Structure 1
Amino acid sequence: MDLLLKYQNDGELDQNTNSSPDSSPPRLLPSKSAAPIVDDTMLALAVANQTLSKPIDPVQHAVAFNPTYDHLWAPVLGPAHPYAKDGIAQGMRNHKLGFVEDAAIDSFVFDEQYNTFHKYGYAADPSASAGNNYIGDLDVLEKNNGISVYNIPQHEQKKRKFEKKTEAAEEDDDGMDKEEAENPATDAWLMKNRKSPWAGKKEGLQSELTEEQKKYAEEHARKKEEKAGGEKGELVADKTTFHGKEEKDYQGRSWIAPPKDAKASNDHCYIPKRLVHTWSGHTKGVSAIRFFPKHGHLILSAGMDTKVKIWDVFNSGKCMRTYMGHSKAVRDISFCNDGSKFLTAGYDKNIKYWDTETGQVISTFSTGKIPYVVKLNPDDDKQNILLAGMSDKKIVQWDMNTGQITQEYDQHLGAVNTITFVDNNRRLLQVMINHSVYGNLGSPLL
């Protein structure tokens, strides 16, 4: 058996030896790279610090993390703005020319360098951290030895001292005339006196005003006169026009006399149900109307057109007379007890007392303030007492017989708008805006 196995193994060995090919090494083709040759000897295998942090949008006003100083002040990265010449986006600008940073510079130093640059053409470099660095015309800088506008050259200082000594010597030699000493407002005195602001001036004061100065002075004087006239109340000629057929009838009765068939008072009062008549004649608004006392056959109206008109009520309904004497709108009107006279208060700061029949002004009163309301004492024996509520928080009382102010009520919180007599005409009820006062007539205490 051993011989058979040996024979079999020898046969397999010969078969394997004859079937194996030649074991010579293969021939390989050389490889080529398409990438360009790059010198990487100076490159460092390190990641930039900016890539390790989150980018910050400069337009945002808040960040969601705690950035460091390097992150906040890192240069702006990214593509330039396609339509901006300097490449800065609109959100990065704080000036129309770009971005301007704040700098802590003393105002004196800034003014010195600013004016020096505009005069000489050079200035200190504000961007330089240290050293005497300058920008601008360095040749002029070297020629002027680096002086600024606040540094006076030495030769200029000597020149000024010499001129001052020369002027002082001339003053001591010439002295001052007696006439100049007595009249220190003359040009010569002002130029020679050292304490005068014109001392040392080569040209004296202006002797005459120019045309422009004269025109300005005249305009100023005119405005001042107009203002003074407005405060005192402009005076206008008192005029009146009668529009009726005749001032007296065939019996000699006045046109203001009530008709014989008119009652002194109505028996009944009715709620208005329809329009009876419209009186038209004022060119502007009507501020107040008053019926003729007792009979009401005439109605008096005060207009914003500076006119007061009286109208017929029972018959024609036409305007009977126009009263003109105020330069501004009429604020309030008031009849006396018998209707023969009435008061008017205007925004021209005048109070006028008129005769109803003739239209003549009996007297005029004024305190320089605007009267808002005028009233006469309702008692028949005290019809000479006039009360007027003024814009200066006062009620002024006049005696129309003498034209003098007899009492002032000044404990008010605002301008007085209405005055009402109560308690048998012994007390006053004065109404202001959101306030009313109750006081005794003739007493300043309210």
Structure 2
Amino acid sequence: MMNTAYCSDKYQYTMGKSFYDCGMKDKTAIFNMFYRKAPENNNWAVVSGVDEVIEMVGNLGKMPEDFYEKFLPGPEYAEFRKYLSTMKFTGNIYAMREGEIVFPSQPVIIVEGPMIEAQVLETPILCIMNHQMAVATKASRVCRATNRPVSEFGSRRAHGPWAATYGAKAAIIAGCSNTSNILTGVMYDYGSTGTMAHSYVTSFGCSVEGEFHAFDSYIRSHQGEPLIMLIDTYDSLRCGILNAMRAFRANGIDDSYPSGYGIRLDSGDLAYLSCECRKILDENGFRNCRIFATNSLDEYLISDLERQGACIDSYGVGDAIATSKANPCFGNVYKLVQIDDQPVLKRSEDKAKLINPGFQITYRITRNDPEKGEIFKADVTCLRGDELSSKIENGETFTIYDENDRYKFKTFEAGDYTSKPLQHKVISNGERCVSCLLYTSDAAD
């Protein structure tokens, strides 16, 4: 089993040796993980991966000394290798909840701990979070394109088993109703779903009668379960839909069937075919038969189908979600913002690369509307324990200013807003302090 704490870059450890040699290993460092720009012109992203980061951090220091000798050879590293073989993370980690909507420059994860311990976590944290946040943000975009359920079907196109499994989890976090990935379903108790492949249909013989026998056999094997017939192997309208209805009738499947039944379209003009199938199904008494659509779908194609009035009840989306196809590289970075009690920052000619120094916290400010419920008004990132933070914590009147234009400001009066901190302590003194996956439904909503 791979120890993901060591899916790292060598320079994390060569820098660590320098910190060790010059007596900086016990200095307290604070690193912020955040992103500067969301993919595909989004102005927001979806948090996913925190639970895997917590698990990864717990595995630091679980490798024998000879493991380090393979990439830090030589007598000059001997003392440092011995230190690494017993080094565990002893600091604190704060993180946003899985599924939280996050905006640029807000700390998604804050690592506070001894310098070397905090430094070597950079690459594995970014590896986990960049992958899952890319998938989660894409999945959220896809799910927001429709009010109908979206299933994640992308494991076969994902960039390896690790990416498929955790990517499916990220998709569920972001709003997908279910996944076809059985390992994800078992690991996270989500349950998994699926229909059938064209190979299943053709294995009964490449004929109209063979298609019927494929459907009939499947229904007989899976009575009491959801039943979705793939009808486009030969011809969706001339035989597929007819054989599906014939098989349903032969097995007593009708609108009273409690587990749900339907058909799947995987090719052709999905808007036209779905509407024609809906007419045929309704005319034959199968009004509760659901129409499921797949075939290289993404948020743009789904939006187009919705505008055309397609009679589709749910969608299955594969590589667009599993690989975040249009923008597979997410841009989280991991930056030092404080050493001991001294804030630090990196200067840059590029304004976008300037960072906010110091130990920070982000508050989400909302107002309650009698008709619409809780309405988002602003996010405020400030230093922990400063005057602004204290006012927000105490519900006092405060004013915020645009970071790029000081003439743009907004005042929130006492009693007229509600606030909540977005970063929560998930590891305290090296020990996990949450027992289950942190989750908010913001992305799904």
TM-score band, normalised by shorter chain? under 0.3
Q: Which has the higher contact order (CA 8 A, sep 6+)?
A: 2
Q: TM-score, normalised by structure 1?
A: 0.16
Q: TM-score, normalised by structure 2?
A: 0.16
Q: Which has more helix, going by share of residues?
A: 2
